[in-house]
Every structure is written in C-alpha cells, then in structure tokens.
C-alpha cells in the first residue's frame, strides 16, 4: 500500500465512521477504533500531542548530542561516542558532497533533522495503544503519539526548509541575482519569458516544500494505519486473530525499522539537496 492510497483510505474510513465515533468507552466498532486513533489531542487550532511528542523527541536529540559532546574524549571512544562520531562523520560527508559553501550551520542542521525525525518516527514502534491508554487513564480522550504522522509537523518542518532555501538563495546570489534567476531561468532572459519563468520557479518551490512534507507524513501515516489495521486482528480476541496479529505485527514492525531510518535519511538528504540547490547559480 502506497502512502497516498493509505492516506486516502484512512480519510474514507474517517468520514464513514465520523458519526459512529463518539466519545466514551466500552465496545467499539473497528471503524470507531481507527477513527479514535486518528483523533488528535487538540483544541481545533493546535495539536498538543504532536507538539508535545515532537518537543520531547527534539529534547532527547539535544540531550543525546549534548551528552556525547560533553563526554567526548580525544582518546579511544566508547560505544556511545563511536556511534555519535560515525553519525556526525556520515552527515558531514553527505553535506560536503551536496552543499558547496559554508556548511557550519547546514551540516549540524542536517544531523539534527535526521536524529529528530528518527526519534519521532521511532515512536511508531511503541505498542499502538500503550500511550493512548495511559492518556485515557489520565483523562485524555484522544492522543496521537507519532508527530511525523501529523501533516502539521512534517509540513512545518518543510516550511522551515523552504525558509532556509530562500535565505540561502538571497545570501549566496544576492537579491538581484536571485531575482534574475527567478525571472530568467530556466527558459531564458527574454522579457516575454519572465512570467513563465517566475511561475515555474514558484511551482518548483511549492512542489519541493509540499513533497518534502507529504512524503514523510504519508509514509508514517500509512505505517501507523497499518499498525491500526493489524491491531484490529488482535482485537478480535480469538486465537487466530492473536496469532495473525503477532505474525503480521512483528513483520511490519521489523520492516518499519527500515522505514523509520529510511524516511529520516530521505528527509535529511532532501533538506541538504534543496539547500544545496539554493547555493548553485543557473
């Protein structure tokens, strides 16, 4: 199931079951179960669960990297330091190949983005109902744990990348150079081509931003949804349902390790590529 179809299916389910999804406990229909799991801890304007869990994941990243930096030794590294060193060197390597220019901010940014997305995605591997159960015990009706399965989070990050693309475009090329590029690339500098150039460039920036946010969101949302569907097997409270749940759930969880890292890697690489493109003159 691709990300897009998964998103689509989820929305259909959500719409179909919207009437059935009532607050309250007791036996739920499968549709209610899924709709319940897709509900945010929100006041309609602000998804507190996404904010809190992304903030926690970010704090964990800061804490881990800070710990590594504080305890860094020039001698033989321990396992923890070696792991961080490998990560840092790897990100530094990637950024060096992609971004040609001052990388004193961009390389650490890429490392932070990668680890942050990894930690946020990893929340998907926790038992689906565990944290919502604690939440319900604390009186919180709706709780979605995985921030990257919320479009607000991923598009927010993508907007951050867009801001950096624009910032570096201005910084590297200057306002005049950037304007020239907006109006004269890719078709040519003839005044009649200016509108077409500008339009295409705007579309390009929007497409980059939206695809960056949607890709991560779609993958994580689809993964979360499949976990929910698998959870329905266990919810049948039969032996075959239990066995199928454990079997498919394990397979999907193990496969999800790959997705967690891969999507974080893709997000980081595209961040670097987009910022790198802002460094290049056309």
* 3-state helix, strand and coil shares in percent for the chain, rounded to the nearest 5: 75, 0, 25
Residue 257 engages other proteins in binding (rule: CB under 8 A): yes
Q: In terms of CB distance, is 211 or 236 closer to other proteins?
A: 236
DSSP code of residue 99: -
Q: In terms of CB distance, is 112 or 248 closer to other proteins?
A: 248
Instruction: Show the binding pattern over residues 108-137: x = contacts other proteins (CB under 8 A), - = does not.
Output: -----------------xxxxxx--x----
Report the candidate in 33, 40, 182, 168 with the shortest Cα–Cα distance to residue 109: 168
215 catalytic per annotation? yes
**How near is the Cβ of 28 to other proteins at its closest, in Å?**
5
54 catalytic per annotation? no
User: What is the largest distance, in Å, between two alpha-carbon atoms of the chain?
Assistant: 72
Residue 258 engages other proteins in binding (rule: CB under 8 A): no
Report the candidate in 139, 159, 114, 146 with the shortest Cα–Cα distance to residue 267: 114
Burial degree of 138 (CB within 10 A; 0-12, 13-18, 19+)? exposed
For 166, residues 6+ apart whose C-beta sits below 8 A from its C-beta are 205, 278
Instruction: Show the binding pattern over residues 187-226: x = contacts other proteins (CB under 8 A), - = does not.
Output: ----------------------------------------
In this structure, the number of other CB atoms found within 10 A of the CB of residue 89 comes to 10
Which residues does residue 42 pair with via DSSP β-bridges, in sequence order?
A: 47
**How near is the Cβ of 19 to other proteins at its closest, in Å?**
17
Among 106, 131, 231, 268, binds other proteins (CB under 8 A): 231
Cβ–Cβ under 8 Å, residues 148 and 222:
no
- Binding region for other proteins (CB under 8 A) out of 30-38, 140-148, 158-166, 167-175: 30-38
In this structure, the number of other CB atoms found within 10 A of the CB of residue 55 comes to 11
71 catalytic per annotation? no
- Binding region for other proteins (CB under 8 A) out of 42-50, 93-101, 218-226, 235-243: 235-243
What is the binding site for other proteins (CB under 8 A)? Answer: 27-30, 32-33, 75-79, 82-83, 85-86, 125-130, 133, 230-237, 241-242, 245-246, 249-250, 253-254, 257
Instruction: Please list the active-site residues.
Output: 211, 215, 219
């Amino acid at each position: 199931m691709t990300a897009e179809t998964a998103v689509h299916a989820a929305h259909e389910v959500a719409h179909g079951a919207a009437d059935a999804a009532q607050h309250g406990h007791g036996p739920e229909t499968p549709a209610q179960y899924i709709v319940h799991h897709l509900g945010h801890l929100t006041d309609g304007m602000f998804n507190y669960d996404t904010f809190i869990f992304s903030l926690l994941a970010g704090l964990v990243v800061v804490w881990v990297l800070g710990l590594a930096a504080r305890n860094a030794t020039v001698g033989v590294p321990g396992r923890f330091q070696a792991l961080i060193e490998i990560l840092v060197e790897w990100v530094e390597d990637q950024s060096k190949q992609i971004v040609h220019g001052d990388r004193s901010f961009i390389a650490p940014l890429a490392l932070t983005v990668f680890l942050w997305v990894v930690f946020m995605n990893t929340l998907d591997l926790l038992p689906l109902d565990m944290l919502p159960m604690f939440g319900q015990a604390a009186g919180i009706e709706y709780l979605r744990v995985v921030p990257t399965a919320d479009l607000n989070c991923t598009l927010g990050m993508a907007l951050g990348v867009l801001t950096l693309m624009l910032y570096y475009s201005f910084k590297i090329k200057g306002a005049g150079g950037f304007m020239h590029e907006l109006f004269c690339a890719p078709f040519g500098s003839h005044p009649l081509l200016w509108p077409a150039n500008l339009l295409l460039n705007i579309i390009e920036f929007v497409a980059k931003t939206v695809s960056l946010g949607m890709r991560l969101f779609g993958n994580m949302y689809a993964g979360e949804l499949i976990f929910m569907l698998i959870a329905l097997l266990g919810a049948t409270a039969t032996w075959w349902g239990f066995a199928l749940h454990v079997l498919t759930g394990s397979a999907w969880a193990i496969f999800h390790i790959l997705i967690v890292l891969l999507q974080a890697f893709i997000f980081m690489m595209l961040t670097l590529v987009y910022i790198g493109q802002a460094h290049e003159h056309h």
